[in-house]
């Protein structure tokens, strides 16, 4: 070997990196994009975002920020005026006082959740996670050295119950993650359910990470409830996580926030100061603009669209035999139980599991879905109904045809 040449054999990655895999949604997105680039008309049900243009109020505020050269670093934890405005808004909607030093502005809800795991967990700390879950929850917990403790909710209509939480508690339990409205199931937790969990978490001195990033996207007559507004003493051990991504159709702008006790936010400030620094200044000004002139009109428009989409989707799925899907109460996902089709045959090949089914749906029917295996549920697939209307109908028609061609006996 020539000593002056760099070796072709790379040195090993860290054990942490070796355990890490790409989110299921992004690997499905790359497979779908590869087919699209080959000229195939793929319907993408795998993306977790609205097909809308961005909220106009946010667009105008971002344009103004760009025109007035708001290009510099901001404090790592966010613009003071944005933290103040968020504190005011959270105080108003929760009926519990929040100050600006209890707010961290982050690059989307994802960074807020990661910060929470990093500043609150010690190695070996257990975190209760409802199954099915958004797959980033357990991954971030593990990155922080924590141990996810999975609680299956399938038998309880995808709801984490007090009894199930109680059963999962050990002396090492340090945190519970609650996500309502829920990705992937669409469940919206009811007041009594949350109150019970809040009291339990309070009694056992557990942190609650409460991810409500779909809170504005709820189907009537369901209502979103915030755990701190239901049980104010829990404020001192809760991290509320919210985002502009889903509700304002700005997933790419990367702006969200966490609300937590001031020492937790101060720790997040230190962490963010050494990792990403501030979220994009333009996105922060856009978020501020939307709080100053909040856009209820946009939210109404989005929910009206989602109502119609859900109706159309349920009509199409009503004709598909051998699947089960409870009508979602919030967010914009259908979580479809396809277990009766697993083990069946499609054009002679046996469908081994949901991953295989998702692959066949992509290659044969040209629709991209998220297999539930990544969410801890090997019986289901997730479909977003926030795509454009034509794509929804076309994609579900292909889905119905494909499913009807599976021979199960």
Ligand X SMILES: Cc1ncc(COP(=O)(O)O)c(C=O)c1O
- The answer to whether the CB of 74 falls within 8 A of the CB of 281 is yes
Helix (H) or strand (E) holding 399: helix 389-404
The least distance separating ligand X from the CB of residue 347, rounded to whole angstroms, comes to 33
Selected from 24, 76, 108, 395, the binder of ligand X by CB under 6 A is 108
According to DSSP H, which parts of 318-388 are helical?
A: 354-365
CB of 370 to ligand X, least distance (A): 10
Shortest Å distance, C-beta 201 to ligand X: 19
**Ramachandran region of residue 64, left (φ > 0), alpha (ψ -120 to 50) or beta?**
alpha
Q: Does residue 215 touch ligand X according to CB under 6 A?
A: no
Q: Is 245 in the site for ligand X (CB under 6 A)?
A: yes
**Closer by beta carbon to ligand X, 85 or else 213:** 213
Q: What is the DSSP string of 225-274?
A: --HHHHSGGGGGGEEEEEESTTTTT-GGG--EEEE--HHHHHHHHHHHHH
* DSSP category for residue 18: H
183 near ligand X, judged by CB under 6 A: yes
Q: How far is the C-alpha of 19 from the C-alpha of 303, rounded, in Å?
A: 39
Q: Is 256 in the site for ligand X (CB under 6 A)?
A: yes
Q: Could you identify the residue written with the tokens 């109404």? A: 300
Rule CB under 6 A: say whether 28 interacts with ligand X.
Answer: no
Residues in a beta bridge with 334? 383
- Of 47, 50, 48, the closest CA to residue 249 belongs to 50
Q: Given candidates 42, 47, 130, 213, which one binds ligand X under the rule CB under 6 A?
A: 213
Alpha helical stretches, state H, 38-172 = 56-67, 80-94, 108-120, 136-143, 162-168
When asked if residue 188 is in the footprint of ligand X (CB under 6 A), the reply is no
Structural Rg of the chain based on CA atoms: 22
Q: Write out the binding residues for ligand X, residues 303-332 only, by CB under 6 A.
A: none
CB of 365 to ligand X, least distance (A): 24
CB nearer ligand X, residue 226 or residue 320: 226
3-class state of residue 87 by DSSP: helix
Segment contacting ligand X by CB under 6 A, of 79-87, 106-114, 162-170, 342-350:
106-114
Residues contacting ligand X: total by CB under 6 A:
13
Q: Does 110 bind ligand X (CB under 6 A)?
A: yes
Q: Least distance in Å: CB of 80 to ligand X?
A: 22
48 makes contact with ligand X (CB under 6 A): yes
The answer to whether 179 contacts ligand X (rule: CB under 6 A) is yes
Min dist. Cβ of residue 183 to ligand X (A) = 4
Binding mask 116-155 for ligand X (x = CB under 6 A): ------------------x---------------------
Token pair 């239901």 is at which residue? 230
Handedness of CA 91, 256, 273, 141 (dihedral sign): positive
Where does this chain bind ligand X (CB under 6 A)?
A: 48, 108-110, 134, 179, 183, 211, 213, 243, 245, 251, 256
């Amino acid at each position: 070997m020539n000593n002056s040449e760099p070796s072709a054999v790379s040195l090993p990655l860290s054990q942490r990196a070796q355990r890490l895999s790409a989110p299921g949604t992004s690997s499905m997105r790359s497979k779908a994009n590869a087919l699209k680039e080959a000229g195939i008309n793929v319907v993408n049900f795998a993306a977790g975002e609205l097909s809308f243009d961005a909220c106009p109020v946010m667009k105008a505020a971002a344009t103004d920020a760009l025109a007035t050269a708001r290009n510099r670093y901001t404090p790592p934890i966010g613009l003071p005026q944005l933290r103040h405005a968020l504190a005011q808004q959270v105080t108003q909607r929760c009926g519990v006082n929040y100050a600006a030093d209890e707010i961290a502005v982050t690059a989307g809800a994802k960074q807020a959740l990661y910060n929470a795991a990093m500043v609150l967990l010690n190695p070996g700390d257990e975190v209760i996670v409802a199954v099915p879950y958004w797959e980033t929850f357990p991954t971030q917990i593990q990155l922080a050295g924590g141990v996810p403790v999975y609680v299956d909710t399938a038998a309880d209509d995808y709801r984490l119950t007090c009894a199930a939480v109680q059963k999962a508690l050990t002396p090492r339990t340090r945190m519970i993650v609650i996500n309502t409205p829920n990705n992937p199931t669409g469940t919206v937790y009811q007041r009594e359910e949350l109150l019970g969990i809040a009291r339990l978490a309070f009694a056992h001195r557990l942190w609650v990470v409460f991810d409500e990033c779909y809170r504005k996207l709820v189907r009537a007559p369901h209502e979103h409830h915030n755990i701190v507004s239901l049980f104010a003493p829990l404020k001192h051990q809760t991290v509320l996580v919210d985002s502009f991504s889903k509700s304002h159709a700005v997933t790419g702008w990367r702006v969200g926030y966490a609300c937590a006790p001031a020492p937790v936010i101060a720790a997040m400030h230190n962490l963010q100061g050494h990792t990403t620094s501030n979220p994009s200044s333009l996105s922060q000004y856009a978020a501020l603009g939307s709080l100053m002139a909040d856009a209820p009109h946009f939210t109404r428009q989005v929910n009206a669209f989602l109502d119609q989409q859900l109706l159309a989707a349920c009509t199409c799925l009503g004709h598909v035999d051998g699947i089960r899907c409870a009508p979602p109460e919030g967010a914009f996902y259908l979580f479809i139980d396809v277990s009766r089709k697993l083990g069946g045959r499609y054009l002679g090949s046996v469908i081994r599991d949901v991953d295989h089914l998702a692959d066949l749906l992509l290659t044969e029917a040209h629709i991209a879905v998220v297999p539930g295996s990544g969410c801890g549920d090997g019986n289901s697939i997730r479909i977003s109904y926030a795509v454009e209307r034509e794509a929804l109908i076309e994609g579900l028609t292909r889905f119905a045809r494909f499913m009807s061609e599976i021979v199960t006996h």
